Chains A and B, each alone.
Chain A
């Protein structure tokens, strides 16, 4: 079952236009402006990175940019908090392995 809610008894959801982005080289779709982590979640992806020392799978936790569990590499930049970063057309999103590499 799709994780996107079509029919809600109380709320209606306004979505921006559909955009495509890539995740780990795979083409995916989401809505412009929704957080990257939300678009991934709706597409069934919840493993967002691996922890630095024990390589543990991590997803998001707080969804308001406070816990840093959701950090991923977006368009080449690491430590992007994907739960509060809005999705744009053509974004290249990858899992962050450990601390990632900060380009000089």
Chain B
């Protein structure tokens, strides 16, 4: 069985949805494939209000932004076909992919593919980190915000980036007690307003600490923490135990990049972007001219930058098939300017360093 399309979009989270919407709006025939039963990726779980410019989506809750995107996608049925519960399992040659759904395996021929496969949660090494009750932050959000189930009654959060801070707040909204937040660095990693929000609700933030072990035999019953110095070495005689029935790890994400490797895209390791990413230019095009990238797969960042990157990829992929257009050029210049604004300021420093490394590599190519 086989299908034909102009633009194949892999992944229906904020990046993939935005890429598919823009490409379809510009006239391309688009096939959007997602391996979940619902579209929206991680965006549907975000109950907090987004930052950024009020001209775009600032002040609006994440899942409301997802609803908006889904509405837009639904209006483009003429050009946009969506397959759910379907995985892209491989790339064959430059313009063929294999897709697998519960019913069948099919081949898809395309002109361009935009890969928006997102990221996977990192784990952390500590004794008993495999005990039932040690969950990733995304898993905790899925349980709480999608299925309406508390991950436990007393939770210890590891990681003070925005995800750790935000999920701690969401846990309290779900009626879970957060016994503390552990951060190995000496300073808080995420936005300080997020930190203040949970501190004034009584959550201690242990900067300069790490988790030594999870306690319990058949499941988590507590955690052993200790202080670390600026070189992340454990300080002797500073261990103490906290009682908890769940340990949430919010220790970073790594881009999901297998498909790029199958497509022979040149990869580059950039720590600031989460690890191995496909080398790509400002048009979100990789070193394989048929393959574009957007979202966390292009570098770990946020939903708003995923949406904007997806819009650039959707516009540029369309132009490379159908020719340059004023409409597409405007979509790209608006998105690029918004991205620049979002990445300015001291909180955008790391991302800017990471993006500079990518630009240097592309220039050397």
User: Which A residues from 1 to 31 make CB contacts under 8 A with B?
Assistant: 1, 3-5, 7-11, 13, 15
Q: How many whole Å from B327's CB to the nearest CB in chain A?
A: 35
Contact of B131 with A59 in the complex, beta carbons under 8 Å:
yes
Contact of A34 with B135 in the complex, beta carbons under 8 Å:
no
User: What band does the interface of chain A fall in when counting residues whose beta carbon is under 8 Å from B?
Assistant: 35 or more
Contact of B135 with A61 in the complex, beta carbons under 8 Å:
yes
Q: State which of B121, B144, B152 has its C-beta within 8 Å of the C-beta of A62.
A: B121
Contact of B219 with A46 in the complex, beta carbons under 8 Å:
yes
Q: Of B35, B134, B149, which is in contact with the most chain A CB atoms at under 10 Å from its CB? A: B149
Q: How many whole Å from B35's CB to the nearest CB in chain A?
A: 8
Contact with B along A46-60 (1 / 0, CB 8 A): 111001000011111
Q: Which residues of B contact A42 (CB under 8 A)?
A: 147, 149
Contact of A8 with B174 in the complex, beta carbons under 8 Å:
yes
Q: How many whole Å from A69's CB to the nearest CB in chain B?
A: 8
Q: State which of A7, A56, A64, A65 has its C-beta within 8 Å of the C-beta of B130.
A: A56
SS of A interface (majority)? loop
SS of B interface (majority)? loop
Q: State which of A3, A7, A35, A57 has its C-beta within 8 Å of the C-beta of B132.
A: A57
User: Cβ of A93 < 8 Å from any Cβ of B?
Assistant: no
User: Cβ of A99 < 8 Å from any Cβ of B?
Assistant: no
Q: Which residues of B contact A46 (CB under 8 A)?
A: 132-133, 219
Distance, CA A66 to CA B144, complexed state (A): 19
Known contacts A11-B145, A13-B147, A35-B147, A61 near B153 by CB under 8 Å: no
Contact of A59 with B147 in the complex, beta carbons under 8 Å:
no
User: Cβ of A41 < 8 Å from any Cβ of B?
Assistant: yes
On B, residues with C-beta under 8 Å from A are 35-37, 47, 61, 63, 120-121, 123, 130-136, 138-139, 142-145, 147-153, 173-175, 217-219
Q: Which 5 pairs show the lowest CB-CB distances between chains A and B?
A: A59-B132, A63-B139, A13-B148, A46-B132, A63-B142
